[in-house]
Amino acid sequence: MKLATYTLDGRTGTGIVVEDRIIDTGVPGTMIDLIREWDTLKPGLEAKAAAGGGVPLASVRLEAPVQRPGKIWAIGLNFADHIAESNMTTPERQVWFTKAQTSVNAPFAEIEIAKGTMTADYEVELVAVIGKGGKHVSAEGASAAIFGYCVGNDVTERMWQHASPQWSLGKSFDTHAPMGPWIVTADEVGDPHALGLRCLVNGEMRQNSSTANLVFNIWQQVEHLSVGMTLEPGDCLFTGTPGGVGAAMDPRQFLKAGDVVRCEIDGLGHIEGTMIAER
């Protein structure tokens, strides 16, 4: 099932995407509330999807599926080609940083280049959305902890990222975590380690790889994070980006106002944002 957060006529709610239409779930609250009660709500929502109806998808504004995740974690250096282009060695342990809640952005919204900066970069990533979550989740049981998946762009301000050993500030600028266009539930995705993912800038292919090439797979990621914290419904994990980022090109190609960045993942759809100077 494809589940979206959308706005229509000033009201924001959750909906089921069926082909080119969106059907309101009728579930009060946010996507996090829906995820939390998924086991109870699922049969009724499946019946709604089968019955059809709704409104044209083109008539609504799609928002980030989870507009205010409790936690946003992102793993760095998790594709061999990206590690090589970064002149780094393959980490023995997972390298994690956070992205601020305020960096969350709608899937087709503009992306800001902050005042006084000039090194904004793109990173297409598969985002895993936590469902049941938990603490001390084993790699063998990790698939049951995940609700679904969506497309993400870990937009990065490189100058700020590398100004400190901690990457989080350079990863957390406003609008720098576009996600969507919806969540595809885990049962529909199947194996999340067999998905092609790509990033195009102004129609030019910059990144083109597969989640099969993750250094640490998603199950290992869930196990690692849940050692120290409880993963909760709606938490979002950015699972790594492949090679081809602008900072590694020769000459380096950072994003500028007017550039259009499209991130796509097989079976999940695409997100697309135009870069603008911060207003």
pLDDT score, position 87: 87
* 139 and 191 together in one domain: yes
Residue 230, domain extent: 72-277
* 215 and 260 together in one domain: yes
* 27 and 150 together in one domain: no
| Cβ contact 31:234 at 8 Å | yes
d(CA 167, CA 171): 6
Q: What pTM, to 2 d.p., does this model score?
A: 0.97
* 43 and 99 together in one domain: no
d(CA 157, CA 169): 9
* 169 and 200 together in one domain: yes
d(CA 190, CA 193): 9
- Where residue 86 falls among pLDDT bands split at 50, 70, 90? confident
The whole-chain average pLDDT of the chain stands at 97
How many domains are there within the chain?
2
pLDDT score, position 88: 84
pLDDT digits (tens, 9 = 90+) for 221-249: 999 999 999 999 999 999 999 999 999 99
Phi, psi dihedral angles at 80 (to 5 degrees): -60, -40
Strands (E), 47-170: 55-56, 61-63, 72-76, 95-98, 104-105, 111-113, 120-121, 124-130, 146-153, 156-157
* 83 and 59 together in one domain: no
pLDDT digits (tens, 9 = 90+) for 165-223: 899 999 999 999 999 999 999 999 999 999 999 999 999 999 999 999 999 999 999 99
* 260 and 124 together in one domain: yes
Phi, psi dihedral angles at 140 (to 5 degrees): -65, -30
d(CA 123, CA 242): 8
* 57 and 79 together in one domain: no
| Closest C-alpha to 231, from 77, 74, 72, 83 | 72
pLDDT digits (tens, 9 = 90+) for 204-217: 999 999 999 999 99
